[in-house]
Amino acid sequence: MARMKFLCDADRCIDCNACVTACKNENEVPWGINRRRVVTINDGKPGERSVSMACMHCTDAPCAAVCPVSCIYPTDDGIVLHSKDLCIGCGYCFYACPFGAPQYPQVGNFGSRGKMDKCTYCAGGGGTEAPSSAAEFEKYGSNRFGEGKLPLCAEMCSTKSLLAGDGDIIAQIYKERVLKRGYGSGAWGWITAYHEDVNV
């Protein structure tokens, strides 16, 4: 069984935000929700790096653990999905998430955040809707995964900085790159998300 992961090679990311746009377009997410975002570290200084970040689909996902209604769960492929029918919009997943992945439709005073929304690895939703149905698309966005495709953000990344796919394979690709070019800033978030690093 494959274990799906994301890996952003920050030494290749050019902060073009195409992954962000692709995600918004593919999943038709509402205004104000950013399932994926690009953060620039050391902006304007030597060693500046940009990293594209979304839900990392963690091992032992902390969001799933803290959810008071247990509406978040990992699939067999290691993708972390949730049910918007069960979500109560308490915001705990955002406090637990190491990557700021959970998003809410409203600002959220008095607990009025609405149902949580996050990257689904383009694998549809974790609710009761039929896979690839219109109802599923409405709530959770695209189900490319059901068609055997990887998330669009990684698929269309122009510098192939953002990698999606089986963890072992993308780690291998990253390793080869680092060896070839002689440097690498590391697999961002991997230790926190997967309790393991890509050692080169």
For another protein, the closer CB: 145 or 194 = 194
How many residues line the site for another protein (CB under 8 A)? 58
**Surface-to-core class of residue 134, CB atoms within 10 Å of its CB (0-12 exposed, 13-18 middle, 19+ buried):** exposed
Residue 110 as a binder of another protein (CB under 8 A): the answer is: yes
Residue 16 as a binder of another protein (CB under 8 A): the answer is: no
Residue 82 as a binder of another protein (CB under 8 A): the answer is: no
For another protein, the closer CB: 95 or 158 = 95
Q: How far apart are CA 130 and CA 152, in angstroms?
A: 21
| 180 sits in which H/E element | helix 167-181
Q: How far is the CB of 141 from another protein (least distance, A)?
A: 19
Residue 105 as a binder of another protein (CB under 8 A): the answer is: no
**Which of 18, 73, 75, 90 contacts another protein by CB under 8 A?**
90
Q: Which of residues 120-179 bind another protein (CB under 8 A)?
A: none
Residue 188 as a binder of another protein (CB under 8 A): the answer is: yes
The SS3 assignment for 153 reads helix
Strand spans (E) along 67-137: 72-74, 80-82
Residue 181 as a binder of another protein (CB under 8 A): the answer is: yes
Residue 196 as a binder of another protein (CB under 8 A): the answer is: no
Q: What's the chain's Rg over C-alpha atoms? A: 16
The per-type count for the chain, helices as H runs and strands as E runs, is 7, 6
**Closest by Cα among 132, 151, 111, 140 to 18:** 151
**Which of 62, 114, 137, 149 contacts another protein by CB under 8 A?**
62
**Beta carbons within 10 angstroms of residue 133's beta carbon:** 13
Residues making contact with another protein (CB under 8 A): 10-11, 17, 34, 37-43, 46-51, 53, 62, 65-71, 85-92, 94-100, 108-111, 180-189, 191-192, 197
